[in-house]
Structure 1
């Protein structure tokens, strides 16, 4: 699954798909404030973030 927002906020990581789900969520939490700046958060990726947030009980659930 393409993850354009994650790739944007993790520009220094060459293979974001190799991150663990917890590492992905950590990146989303750190970079969440940039979502409007990049403007590339698609519905499928937003659903993936919601799944991660539910799994790890993240504060991002309130934002989604």
Structure 2
């Protein structure tokens, strides 16, 4: 699971991850940091940060 925020200018910030192994956590963080800019979040006409969680499933390909 990767948890991050979309800042009020559309950037991915404050990336955290939870996984069974530290290497998997680091890989999830690396992947999320490569996401492109997002559309800005709005609330009552103002640009706001948006918290988001993304389930990431790793598997071993044989």
TM-score tier by shorter-chain length is: under 0.3
- Identify the structure with the greater helix proportion: 1
- Identify the structure with the greater strand proportion: 2
Tell me the TM-score normalised to structure 2 length. 0.27
Larger radius of gyration: 2
Q: Which has the higher contact order (CA 8 A, sep 6+)?
A: 2
Tell me the TM-score normalised to structure 1 length. 0.26
